[in-house]
Structure 1
Amino acid sequence: MSHLEKLTISLGVRGRTSFIDGIHLDNCILSRLPHLHTFVFNIITDFVGSTEHFEPSADHIRRTFIQRGHHADCYIDYHHVNMPRCHVYSVPLNMERMRHISHGFPGGTFINVRILSMLDDSHSFEHNFFAQISRSFPLLSRLVVRNTTPQKEKRSHQLVKIDLTVSMYISIMWNSFFLTSKHVYLVFASFMFNMNT
């Protein structure tokens, strides 16, 4: 494996005492791959139980990757006191899947992503977030949404009718759309409305 030139990883890690950052990745994996010239990553570290009071910022984690020559973006959710979550990924992301984005997702353009899952049980996915998702992932073929928190902002006047053209577009482009939510109609209608605007 030491002659590996290209590495693409999508990694979910739970139960560490710290987030996986560029320093850790470089020391434990990348330094052992001297011929590596392309590294694409999508890493989520969650349920981190830290004994320290240091809470690294997304900027701090991002810099640990950039200082090692990896273009990256990152966001951190500290929504549970002892269970923070960090999502760091290559920019541009040359993967067809992106897993478990949450309300903290900063946006961007992901033209290669065809399969997206959204997961957040502590914050609702609001209308503006769905607008951001529809702009960020223009070529989705599968969307999985898991959210148990009701939307705070009800936009019923915008959600009443869904244009037939948009419905046809969705039928043609999406292979599947899965929702796990107590508020399925609002989530779906909000996303459909954003596809039309």
Structure 2
Amino acid sequence: MINLEELTLSIFVQERTLIDGTSLYNEIFVYMSRLNMFNFWICTDNMINNSIHHHLSEDDIQQTFTNIIFQQVECIINHFAHISQYHVFSLPFMFSCFDYIGNTFPTVIFNYVRILRVQDNVPFEHEFFIRIACSFPLLQQLTIKNVRPQSSLPDELNSNDNQLYSIVNYSYLISLCFEIVHHDYVEQFLDDTKHIYLV
């Protein structure tokens, strides 16, 4: 692997120290002097009470990528019930699947993502689905996992003269999965008066 010039790496790690820019540099790049293109997506899951990284911010993690000169790097941190999840990836994001992002994700266009799974401990409001449609324009499969009810959706979207919510279009969506969800999400997607259209 010492002569490698291009590397695409997708790795999901559980119960291990966070893989950050310093780790990548010390454990991979020092052995690959010819590497000139590196596309990556690294996801690390840790139990919150076991995680020494629980208090790291996205900026803290991005600062470790100062030795990565090939492209821009983004980070997403999610804290679910008992798990902290860290996504670190190069831009543009070159992978077709993105597993388990929550309400917080960067304002980036994920042109290659066709399969997306979303999960959070706080409700997904209508604006979240607008952001998903804009950030994942070629999305074909969407899985939703969220048991929290939406805060304002039922009353406001049931109004016949509602102009508060923008229409959300998922032009390429062919598969919609509700894993463990509150009925608000099912209604929002399957009731055509709720301003989300699968066209």
After superposition, the C-alpha distances for 1:4-25 in whole angstroms (9 at most, x for unaligned) are: 2211122211112x32110012
Q: 1:112 to 1:55 in 2, by over 3 A?
A: same
Distance in 1 (CA, whole Å) between partners of 2:84 and 2:43 is 11
Aligned counterparts of 1:132 and 1:5: Cα–Cα separation in 2: 35
Query: Which whole-Å deviations, capped at 9, do the CAs of 1:153-188 have from their partners, x for residues lacking one?
Result: 325443689xxxx99x85x72332212123242452
CA distance in 2: counterparts of 1:42 and 1:90, whole angstroms: 7
What percentage of residue pairs aligned between the two structures are identical?
32
Alignment RMSD: 3.0
* AA of the residue aligned to 1:72: V
CA displacement 1:115-152 (0-9 Å, x = unmatched): 212122x2222211111111101111111222222222
Return the structure number with greater helix share: 1
SS at match of 2:129: helix
Structure 1 partner of 2:74: 73
Instruction: Give the 3-state SS of the residue equivalent to 2:195 in structure 1.
Output: helix
Q: List 4+ stretches of structure 1 deviating above 4 A.
A: 189-192
Which one-letter code corresponds to 1:141 in the other structure? Q
Distance 2:64 2:3 in 1: 24
Can you give the 5+ residue segments of structure 2 that lack an aligned partner in the other structure? Answer: 161-166
Say if 2:24 is the partner of 1:25.
Answer: yes
**Larger strand fraction of residues:** 2
Matches within 5 A, 1:178-189: 178-180=177-179, 181-183=181-183, 184-188=185-189
CA contact (8 A) 2:145 2:178 kept: yes
| Paired residue secondary structure (1:47) | strand
Residue 110 of structure 1 corresponds to which residue in structure 2? 110
Equivalent residue, structure 2, for 1:173: 172
Secondary structure of 2:148's aligned partner: coil
C-alpha distance in 1, partners of 2:195/2:20?
37
Partner of 1:146: helix, strand, or coil?
strand
Q: Does 1:40 align with 2:39?
A: yes
Deviation per CA, 1:77-96, whole angstroms, max 9, x where unpaired?
3455x632211111111222
Supply the distance in 2 between the matched residues of 1:46 and 1:148 (Cα, whole angstroms): 21
**In 1, Cα distance between equivalents of 2:127 and 2:37:** 34
- For 2:158 and 2:94, how far apart are their aligned partners in 1? 34
State the distance in 2 between where 1:88 and 1:179 align.
26
Is residue 90 of structure 1 aligned with residue 87 of structure 2?
Answer: no
Query: With structure 1 as the length reference, what TM-score do the two structures score?
Result: 0.78
- Measured in 1, the distance between the counterparts of 2:53 and 2:100 equals 26
The separation in 2 between residues aligned to 1:118 and 1:174, in whole angstroms, is 15
